[in-house]
Amino acid sequence: MTRIHIGAPLTVDTRLELPEAAARHVAQVLRMRAGELLTLFNGAGGEYDAVIESADRRTVQVRVENYREVERESALSLTLAQCVSKGERMDYTIQKAVELGVSAIVPVLSARSVVKLDSERWEKKLEHWRGVVSSACEQSGRTALPHIHPVQRLDAWLAASGDGVRLVLAPGGHHGLKQLPPAQSATLLVGPEGGLSDEEIALALHRGFTGIGLGPRVLRTETAGVAALAALQALWGDLGG
């Protein structure tokens, strides 16, 4: 069933017009027509069955027919603090983090971050990432959208990162994930393409983070966070069977 995210309240027995991008995807890419079914969700939980009443190249009208209370969110609350990487690498990390059930994503800038934009372009980048989150939720069956925070400097974010289980990926980290006691929530910090500097790792440790390693091989930034999230979900979350 094709799933569409609607950023507005949904109510059974109402009619609505799909947003432009969604309408184009449904009518031009999927070539769906009147009478076919869609699944709608707005991020507030549950899903709605809807039927297409009319469809042309620019406009798709649907009628909401039924609400289904489904739950696919992980009981493990995960926050990914990802140092911004270039282009599709960051998109990939966000997409896969959403698929793996993160609750929130914090893009951060560190000393070795290579992406440098002005405030207006950062806002456009943030809007693009929100679209990546929405699409990943549509594909993966999630009914709640993870919150993606505005871009922050690493030192400022570390100063306000709070309590709880906080992990930083560090080459040669003295702890493995299996050595840590299970938790219901965790924050994971992942460096950029060139990794976190020694000073940044030391600052994270000073702020109460635990340095962890992911084995003997060096992982790229877009691989490291995804691998760690999958491992955390397998150990403490809902990937354990």
Q: What is the pTM of this model?
A: 0.93
- In the block, tokens 């999958």 appear at 230
Which class in CATH covers the domain with range 3-68? mainly beta
Report yes or no: 53 and 15 within 8 Å, Cβ to Cβ: yes
For the ranges 59-63, 117-121, 196-200, 233-237, the lowest mean pLDDT is seen at 117-121
Domain with CATH 2.40.240.20 in the chain: 3-68
| Per-residue model confidence (pLDDT) at position 33 | 94
- Strand 104-109 with 147-148, pairing: parallel
Domain with CATH 3.40.1280.10 in the chain: 77-236
Is pLDDT above 80 for 241?
Answer: no
Give the C-alpha separation, 78 to 233, whole Å.
Answer: 9
Is pLDDT above 90 for 218?
Answer: no
Question: Could you tell me what percent of the chain has a pLDDT over 70?
Answer: 99
| Domain at 77-236, CATH homologous superfamily | SPOUT methyltransferase, trefoil knot domain (3.40.1280.10)
| Per-residue model confidence (pLDDT) at position 174 | 72
Q: What is the pLDDT of residues 31-52, one digit of tens each?
A: 999 999 999 999 998 999 999 9
